[in-house]
C-alpha cells in the first residue's frame, strides 16, 4: 500500500467515523424529542430539505402542510354549507343548558365564597405543586435523572406516546395539566355546606371539563397527531374536517360522532346472523325463535328480555362472540324479544304496557310455540329491571309461568346507581320531558347514547375526536362499537316512569311501587335467581346489583364478573378473557361476600350454565321454529331491529 493510499484509507475511516458519530447524535436528539424509532423517517418527498428530520421536530414542514390544508379546508366548508339548509343545532331549538350545569356550578361558587380560608389553603397547595414541578424540570434540563412530580393514572391511554415523557416541553405540559386536574377535583370534592346532589353534579361536570381540556385533545400538542400530519402532508386534517362535517350533517346540526364504520355491518349478513325466525309480533316487539343445533334440548325454553334502550343483537354480534349462538349450541331453545324502535305513534305507551305487551305476550307466545308452561328467563339491564318488576307483579297475581330468572347487570335497587343518578333531579327530568315533547313524544336515541358516553368521556368521546377529526382516520370495523352507535328511541311515558319511579324515587326497592292495582314486593318472588354484575360497570355498579340481589325472597346466586356493562356480559369462553368471582352465600354486605369469594379465570358463562342445569335439567327433542303453534313471519333478525333512529 502506498502512502497516498494509506492516507486515503485513513481519511475514509475518519469520514466514516464522523458520519457514524453524526447519526448517533441525531438519534439521541430524536430520542430526546420523544420520537418513535420507526417514525424517524417521515414519508415526505425526498426533494424537500426536511426528509431527515424527526417528525416531531419538523415544524417547518408542518407549517407548510397546515398552510396548504387551510386553503383546501375553506373550499370543503364552503361546499358543505352551500348544501345545507337550517341546522337545528344552530337555530336555537336546543336548550342552552339542558342538564342544568349552570345551577350546579353556581352552588359550587357559593360554597367556595363561603369558605375563603379553605380556598386560600387550596391555592397555596396548587402553587406548591407547581413549584415542585418547576424545580424538577430545572433539574431535568441540567441532565439529572428526576422522578416526575405527578404521573398519569395506570391505564390512561392519552399520554402513552413516548414524547409525553421524553420531550421536556410536552412532559411539562402533561404534568401541569395533571396537577391542575387533581387540584380542581380535590377542591370541588372537599366543598362543604352545599347540597350533596348539587355537589355531585358539580364533581361530575368538573370531570367532563377536565377531560375536555386535556392537552392530548389539542392537535398541535398531541405528538401522534403531529406525526400523522407530517407523514400525510396534512391530508389527515383535511380528511378529519370532512369527517367532522359529515357527522354534523348526519346529526342534523348536532355532532354525531361515529364510533364505527356504519356501512360495513349489515344485520343478518355479517352481524346478528344466528339462524332463526320471527314467530310473533305486536306494536312494540317481535319475538325471535332460534333454530336448534343439537338433537336434544332443555325441556324448558329460554326467553331473553334485552334492554329497549339498545338493540338485542349485543347478544348476537358475530358467531365468535354471540351469546345467543353459544346458548343454542348448549342445547337450549332460545327466544329473544326484539323491541321496536318507536316512533311518535307509540308516545303514549307505558312501562306497564311494555310488561304486558312485551314480556307477558312473549311468555304466551313461547308457550304456544313449545307447549311448555314453565319458562326460564334472562333480563339484561333495563330489560332486567322490567323483569324484576314483572316478577313482583306475577307474585301478587299468582302467575307462576317463570321457572327461573337470570339478570345480566340489572338493577332493581337504585340506591347506589352511580353517576346516572345525577341526571334525575326535577329540573333535569323537566328538561328531558320538554326535549321529548319537542320530538313528538319520544326520546331520540342519540340523547341517551350521549349520556352513556359522558360516563366514560375519554374512551367514548375524546378518543374518537382525536382519531376521526385530527388523525383523519376512517371509523373502525368494530362490531361492538357499531352496535353502540345503533341507538333507539324511547316513548316518553316509558322513559319518564323509569327515571322517576326507579332512579329518582326507588319505589320498587322500597316496596312502594303500585302497578295494575297491586303493591309490588320483590320479597314475594321465590323462584331461583342468578345475578351477574361487572367489576367496572359504570352504568349498573356491582354494589347496586348486590343490593338488588338481597331484595328477592328465594334462592339467589350473585356472581361478579371482570370488566364492565358490556364486556363483562359478552365474554365468550373461547376468548379466555377476564375472570369471575363466585360465592354461594349472600351475606349482609358486598364486602363480606367479596372476602369469601373464589376467583376463577375466564368467562362465567359455563358457571352460569351449570347453575341453570340445576334448576332446569329435563330434556326433549329439539324444536324447529314453526313446528309448534306459531307460524314464522320472517327470518331473524327481523325487521324491527333494522329501523334506525
Active site members: 381
- 92 burial level (CB within 10 Å; 0-12, 13-18, 19+): exposed
Collapse the DSSP code of 290 into the 3-class scheme (helix H, G, I; strand E, B; otherwise coil) and give the result.
strand
Q: How many CB atoms lie within 10 A of CB 401?
A: 16
Q: Give me 245's grid cell.
A: 362535517
**Three cell numbers, residue 39:** 417514525
Phi, psi angles (nearest 5°) of residue 531: -120, 120
CA angle in degrees (0–180, nearest 5) for 567-571-573: 165
Which cell is 213 given? 381540556
Helices (H), 354-381: 361-370
d(CA 137, CA 174): 12
Q: Which residue pairs from 90-99 have beta carbons closer than 8 angstroms and sit at least 24 positions apart in sequence? A: 90/253, 91/253, 93/438, 94/254, 95/431, 95/434, 95/435, 98/428, 98/431, 98/432, 98/435, 99/205, 99/423, 99/428, 99/431
Strands 634-635 and 490-491: unpaired
Q: Cα(94)–Cα(435) distance, rounded to whole angstroms?
A: 8
What grid cell was written down for 606? 359455563
Strand, helix or coil at 616?
coil
Buried (b) or exposed (e) across 29-51, using 16+ Cβ within 10 A? ebbebbbbeebbebebeeeeebe
Cα–Cα distance measured from residue 404 to residue 409, given in angstroms and rounded to the nearest whole number: 16
Buried b (16+ CB within 10 A) or exposed e, 155-172: eeebbebbbbbbbeebbb
> Cα–Cα distance between 464 and 469 in angstroms, integer?
8
Residue 87, judged by CB atoms within 10 A of its CB (0-12, 13-18, 19+), counts as middle
Beta-carbon neighbour count of residue 131 at 10 Å?
11
* C-beta neighbour count of 67 within 10 angstroms: 10
Query: Rounded to whole angstroms, how far apart are CA atoms 494 and 492?
Result: 6
3-class secondary structure for 564-575? Answer: CCCCCCCCCHHH
d(CA 346, CA 283): 8
- Whether the Cβ atoms of residue 167 and residue 40 lie closer than 8 Å to each other: no
Residue-wise DSSP of 31-43: HHTT--GGGSS--
The string of DSSP letters for 385-402 reads: HHHHHHHHHHHHHT---E
Contacts of 275 (CB under 8 A, 6+ apart): 290, 291, 635, 636
CA torsion angle 606 607 609 611 (round to 10): 170
Task: Give the CA count within 13 Å in the CB-facing half-sphere of 398.
Answer: 0
- The position carrying cell 350545569 is 101
DSSP state of 45: -
Q: Where are the alpha helices (DSSP H) in 232-345?
A: 235-250, 323-329
Rg (CA), the chain: 29
Residue 235 DSSP class: H
Amino acid at each position: 500500500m502506498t502512502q497516498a493510499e494509506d492516507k486515503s484509507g485513513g481519511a475514509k475511516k475518519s469520514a466514516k467515523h464522523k458520519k457514524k458519530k453524526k447519526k448517533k447524535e441525531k438519534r439521541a436528539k430524536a430520542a430526546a424529542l420523544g420520537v418513535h424509532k420507526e417514525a424517524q423517517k417521515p414519508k415526505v418527498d425526498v426533494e424537500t430539505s426536511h426528509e431527515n428530520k424527526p417528525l416531531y421536530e419538523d415544524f417547518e414542514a408542518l407549517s407548510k402542510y397546515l398552510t396548504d390544508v387551510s386553503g383546501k379546508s375553506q373550499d370543503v366548508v364552503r361546499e358543505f354549507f352551500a348544501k345545507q339548509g337550517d341546522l337545528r343545532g344552530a337555530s336555537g331549538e336546543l336548550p342552552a343548558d339542558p342538564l342544568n350545569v349552570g345551577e350546579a356550578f353556581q352552588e359550587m361558587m357559593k360554597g367556595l365564597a363561603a369558605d375563603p380560608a379553605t380556598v386560600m389553603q387550596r391555592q397555596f397547595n396548587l402553587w406548591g405543586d407547581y413549584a415542585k414541578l418547576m424545580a424538577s424540570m430545572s433539574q431535568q434540563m441540567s441532565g439529572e435523572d428526576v422522578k416526575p412530580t405527578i404521573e398519569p393514572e395506570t391505564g390512561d391511554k392519552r399520554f402513552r406516546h413516548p414524547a409525553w415523557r421524553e420531550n421536556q416541553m410536552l412532559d411539562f405540559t402533561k404534568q401541569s395539566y395533571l396537577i391542575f386536574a387533581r387540584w380542581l377535583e380535590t377542591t370541588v370534592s372537599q366543598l362543604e355546606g352545599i347540597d350533596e346532589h348539587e355537589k355531585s353534579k358539580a364533581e361530575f361536570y368538573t370531570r367532563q371539563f377536565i377531560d375536555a381540556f386535556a392537552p392530548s385533545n389539542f392537535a398541535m400538542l398531541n405528538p401522534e397527531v403531529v406525526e400523522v400530519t407530517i407523514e400525510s402532508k396534512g391530508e389527515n386534517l383535511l380528511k378529519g374536517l370532512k369527517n367532522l362535517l359529515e357527522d354534523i350533517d348526519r346529526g342534523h346540526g348536532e355532532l354525531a360522532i361515529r364510533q364505527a364504520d356504519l356501512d360495513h355491518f349489515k344485520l343478518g349478513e355479517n352481524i346478528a346472523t344466528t339462524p332463526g325466525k320471527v314467530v310473533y309480533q305486536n306494536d312494540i316487539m317481535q319475538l325471535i325463535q332460534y333454530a336448534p343445533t343439537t338433537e336434544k334440548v332443555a325441556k324448558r325454553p329460554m326467553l331473553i328480555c334485552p334492554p329497549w334502550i339498545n338493540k338485542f343483537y349485543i347478544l348476537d354480534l358475530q358467531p365468535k362472540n354471540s351469546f345467543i349462538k353459544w346458548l343454542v349450541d348448549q342445547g337450549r331453545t332460545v327466544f329473544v324479544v326484539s323491541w321496536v324502535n318507536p316512533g311518535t305513534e307509540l308516545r303514549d305507551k307505558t312501562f306497564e304496557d311494555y310488561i304486558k305487551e312485551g314480556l307477558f305476550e312473549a311468555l304466551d307466545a313461547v308457550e304456544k310455540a313449545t307447549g311448555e308452561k314453565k319458562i326460564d328467563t334472562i333480563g339484561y339491564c333495563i330489560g332486567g329491571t322490567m323483569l324484576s318488576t314483572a316478577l313482583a307483579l306475577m307474585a301478587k297475581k299468582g302467575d307462576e309461568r317463570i321457572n327461573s330468572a337470570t339478570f345480566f347487570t340489572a338493577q332493581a335497587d337504585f340506591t347506589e346507581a352511580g353517576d346516572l343518578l345525577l341526571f334525575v333531579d326535577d329540573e333535569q327530568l323537566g328538561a328531558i320531558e320538554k326535549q321529548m315533547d319537542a320530538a313528538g313524544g319520544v326520546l331520540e336515541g342519540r340523547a341517551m347514547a350521549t349520556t352513556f358516553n359522558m360516563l366514560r368521556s375519554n374512551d367514548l368521546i375524546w378518543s374518537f375526536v382525536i382519531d376521526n377529526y385530527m388523525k383523519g382516520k376512517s371509523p373502525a370495523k368494530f362490531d361492538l362499537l357499531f352496535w353502540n352507535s345503533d341507538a333507539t328511541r324511547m316513548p316518553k311515558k316509558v322513559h319518564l316512569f323509569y327515571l322517576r319511579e326507579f332512579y329518582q324515587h326507588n319505589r320498587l326497592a322500597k316496596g312502594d311501587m303500585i302497578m295494575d292495582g297491586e303493591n309490588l314486593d320483590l320479597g314475594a318472588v321465590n323462584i331461583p335467581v342468578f345475578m351477574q354484575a361487572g367489576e367496572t360497570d359504570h352504568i349498573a355498579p356491582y354494589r347496586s346489583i348486590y343490593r338488588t340481589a338481597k331484595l328477592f325472597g328465594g334462592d339467589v346466586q350473585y356472581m361478579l364478573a371482570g370488566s364492565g356493562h358490556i364486556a363483562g356480559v359478552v365474554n365468550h369462553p373461547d376468548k379466555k378473557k377476564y375472570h369471575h368471582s363466585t360465592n354461594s352465600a349472600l351475606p349482609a354486605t358486598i364486602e363480606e361476600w367479596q372476602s369469601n369469594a373464589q376467583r376463577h379465570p375466564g368467562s362465567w358463562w359455563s358457571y352460569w350454565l351449570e347453575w341453570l342445569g340445576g334448576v332446569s335439567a329435563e330434556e326433549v327433542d329439539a324444536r324447529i321454529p314453526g313446528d309448534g303453534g306459531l307460524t314464522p313471519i320472517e327470518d331473524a333478525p327481523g325487521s324491527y331491529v333494522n329501523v334506525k333512529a
